[in-house]
Structure formats: structure tokens, C-alpha cells
Amino acid sequence: MMKTLVLPCRVPRLPCAKTGAPIRFKDKGARMELSITRPDDWHLHLRDGDLLEAVVSHSASHFGRGIVMPNLKPPITTTAAAVAYRESILKALPANNDFTPLMTLYLTDTTTPDEIKLARESGTVFAVKLYPAGATTNSEDGVTDLFGKCLPVLEEMIEQNMPLLVHGEVTDPAVDMFDREKVFIETVLRPLIEKLPQLKVVMEHVTTMDAVRFVESCSEGFIAATVTPQHLLLNRNALFQGGLQPHNYCLPVLKREIHRQAIVSVVTSGSKRFFLGTDSAPHERQRKECSCGCAGIYNAPVALSLYAKVFEEAGALDKLEAFTSFNGPDFYGLPRNTSKIKLSKNSWKVPESFSFASGEIVPMFAGETLDWLPSSV
Ligand code: DOR
Ligand code: ZN
């Protein structure tokens, strides 16, 4: 397999973070160790059936909680379905693992305000996901008329303090693939928060400097964003390096280098508005390596190593823990985790693939060597 081109993360810094700040770092001879509060994954695809069984332990071994995406087939549109899905995730967990799935509802044109009340009362649903219809994998049942049909639901979400998680891309085929996030901000997101300033919104998997600027310009506490490892480490060249690279294809698609640099700069500055969301999205190998491959990068096994790499290369390891473990729960109004994990500066090789009953899954950076090894304390 072709080596993935990994870009250096040294970019112009906002407020300067001191390199190697002296918090919880241990330098064991040549080996550096970092002990941080157990992270959560605020954007995660766990799938169902044997794919769920194949992937869940990769997230559960590193993360305390995961915001679980509802884009199954059929989608998770009701609280009852979310409760059942949560049960199947808990059943698939390894023994003695206390990973907590935080469930989400898939917003449609016909979701009712009562469903939002039920979701809040259930104690298992923590957010509602907006997929513009046709934007990405399993989004056919998504929203076609946010400002018309969904307004009463959005108003109820404000009442219930339920965040809206946004896949921020327009679907108009006339809009260039690489501009879909920027156009979404101007035509949907900005008008939405002007209309409903009390609505909590997470702009998921931001990919552009436009999104960075937009989130930074909004009121703190109401608008935040998740950031994936791939949008921090790769630019759009990684899709074409040495031939078409299906395992680097996700949506929103990788962008130009200037956008990647803007995202690295803001997360390593320590901004509280940005937090960890892997968007780990497994697809069976044949569904990626074919004439019409699925969007989605399977990064759960490598995500923490990659985030640590980004912060290390930016000289901002002292800002890593807030990004991985504090900013997310603080935004959602949930307690921070109390247990810790360790990140050791040890080389390890990413497996080429993971086999499961229906095939194989190829992880991000398959076969490559990474520097930071996570383990439970
Ligand atoms: O690349 C992606 N894959 N982006 C999404 O928005 C959905 C995800 C998936 O479910 O595979
Ligand atoms: Zn996603």
C-alpha cells in the first residue's frame, strides 16, 4: 500500500503555547509519557451487526464516551430506536468495559417536538443530527426543509437544551464539492443561528478556514465544532498521491493545505470551541475499493496517536488534554471523565487491516508506524 503523505503541523500559532509545558509529562529516559483525563469521542460511527462487533472495542479501549451517529439503515429517528441501538452497542462491548454510548436522533422533515421531549426524558439521547438530504452516507432520509418543516422541532430543542449536530454541507449539485461547507455556512448556518440564537449547535468535522472563522465569531457556549484526525493531518493531495486513495476519502472531503493549517492553528491555540470528534466511519474494504467507493475513514484505532502527533508537532502538547477531554463535556454540560489514560512515546505499527465476519476493514494509515501509543492507566 502507498505510504500516506503526512504533512508537518508547524503552522503560524495564535497565542503561543510553550513547547513541552511541564504538566503531567514524564520523561522516562528517552521515552516521554503523557497522562491525560480519559478522552471522549464526540462524533463516532459504530454501525450495527457484525461491523459493530468488529469496531466497538477500538473506540471503547481509549474513549470514555462516544456520541454515536444515527445514520444506520434504517436511520435512528425515534427515542425507542435509539434505546434499542444503545442496548446492542452495550452487548457488543468487551467484558469489564464501561464505555458509555451517548445516543443521537436522526432529524427528518417529520420529526415531532414530542419526540424531542421523549428523547430528553429518556436520559439516553444527547443530541439530534442534521444531515441535509443526500449530503453523505445514508442521508437519503435527511432534511429537505430545515427552516420550514423543522422549525417547531428546533424550538423544542432549545427548550430541552438539546444540541443540534450539523453535517455542514449544501447538496446543490451546482456547488463545487470543495465549496459545499463554505456555502452551507452562509446559506444555512448563519441564518439558522441568527433566527435561533439560543440553539446549541455543533458544526461537525470542520474542514475549512471559513468554518474556523465562523465558529470563532459566534457566541461561546452556543456554537462549537468537532475536528477529525484526517482534517488535521491530510490535505486533498492525499486523495491522489501516487494514484487514487479511497481510504482517504471522506465527507466533507479533504481540502487545500491553507484550510488544514487554519484548523491545526485554532485547535492547538487552546480554543475551547473545538473538541475531539473522530468521525471514525468504517466500511468493508470492498465498499471502499470499488468503482463507486463509500465515503468514510476508519480512524478509531489510530485517532489518539494522531491527535497527539498534531499537538506535539505544533509545540502544544500542553493543550492536548483540553481538546481531547475537557472542551467536549464542558460544551455538552456533562461531567468530565475521572479516569486517566497514558500516551507513551513508543513506535507502533498500524495493522494493515482488521478481519471480521463479512470481510475486512482498512484503518487510516494502515501499515504505517506511529509514535504515540495510548494505554489505560
Ligand atoms: O465520510 C463520511 N462517512 N462522512 C459522513 O458524513 C458519514 C460517514 C459514514 O457514515 O460513512
Ligand atoms: Zn460522521
- Tell me the CA–centroid distance for residue 312 and ligand 1, in Å: 28
**pLDDT band at 26, cuts 50/70/90?**
low
- Tell me the CA–centroid distance for residue 259 and ligand 1, in Å: 20
- Tell me the CA–centroid distance for residue 45 and ligand 1, in Å: 8
Distance CA 36, CA 51 (A): 29
Residues with a CB atom less than 6 Å from ligand 1 = 45, 71, 136-137, 167, 250-251, 281, 295-296
CA 232 to the chain's CA centroid: 12
pLDDT mean over 100-109: 98
For 191-205, write each residue's pLDDT tens digit.
999 999 999 999 999
- Tell me the CA–centroid distance for residue 25 and ligand 1, in Å: 35
- The residue nearest atom 2 of ligand 1, judged by CA position, is 296
Backbone angles phi, psi at 28, to 5 degrees: -85, 85
- The residue nearest atom 4 of ligand 1, judged by CA position, is 251
The owner of cell 486523495 is 239
pLDDT mean over 267-282: 98
The pick from 250, 253, 283, 361 for probing ligand 1's pocket by mutation, whose C-beta has the most ligand atoms within 8 angstroms, reads 250
Backbone angles phi, psi at 74, to 5 degrees: -75, 160
Distance CA 128, CA 131 (A): 10
pLDDT of residue 14: 32
Distance CA 298, CA 309 (A): 18
For 80-93, write each residue's pLDDT tens digit.
999 999 999 999 99
Of the ligands numbered here, which is closest to the C-alpha atom of 72?
A: 1
Positions marked catalytic: 43, 45, 129, 167, 205, 279
CA of 283, closest atom in ligand 1: 11
Domain ranges of the chain: 36-337+344-376
- Tell me the CA–centroid distance for residue 167 and ligand 2, in Å: 8
The pick from 251, 283, 297, 299 for probing ligand 1's pocket by mutation, whose C-beta has the most ligand atoms within 8 angstroms, reads 251
Of the ligands numbered here, which is closest to the C-alpha atom of 279?
A: 2
DSSP bridge pairs for 280: 44, 297
Distance CA 63, CA 92 (A): 15
State what percent of residues in the chain have pLDDT above 90.
90
CA of 250, closest atom in ligand 1: 1
- Count other Cβ atoms within 10 Å, centred on residue 361: 25
**11 pLDDT exceeds 80?**
no
Backbone Cα Rg of the chain: 19
DSSP string over 299-362: -TTTHHHHHHHHHHHTT-GGGHHIIIIIHHHHHHT-PPP-SEEEEEEEEEEPPS-EEETTEEEP
pLDDT mean over 126-155: 94
Average pLDDT score over the chain: 93
Sheet holding 369-376, edge to edge: 25-28, 31-37, 340-349, 369-376
Distance CA 203, CA 130 (A): 10
Residues contacting residue 171 through CB under 8 Å, at least 6 positions apart: 132, 133, 134, 135, 180
At 243, list the grid cell.
Answer: 494514484
**pLDDT band at 377, cuts 50/70/90?**
confident
pTM: 0.93
Ordered alpha helix ranges (H), the chain: 49-60, 79-92, 113-122, 151-159, 180-184, 190-195, 209-217, 229-233, 257-268, 285-288, 303-313, 320-321, 327-332
CATH architecture under which domain 36-337+344-376 falls: Alpha-Beta Barrel (3.20)
At 365, list the grid cell.
Answer: 494509515
At 374, list the grid cell.
Answer: 495510548
**22 pLDDT exceeds 90?**
no
Residues contacting residue 45 through CB under 8 Å, at least 6 positions apart: 68, 69, 71, 279, 280, 281, 282, 296
**CB-neighbour burial class of residue 314 (10 A; exposed 0-12, middle 13-18, buried 19+):** buried
At 64, list the grid cell.
Answer: 470514555
The pick from 44, 51, 71 for probing ligand 1's pocket by mutation, whose C-beta has the most ligand atoms within 8 angstroms, reads 71
- Ligand 2 (ion): residues with CB under 5 Å are 279
* Max Cα–Cα distance, the chain, nearest Å: 62
**177 pLDDT exceeds 50?**
yes
Name the strand (E) or helix (H) holding 125. Answer: strand 125-130
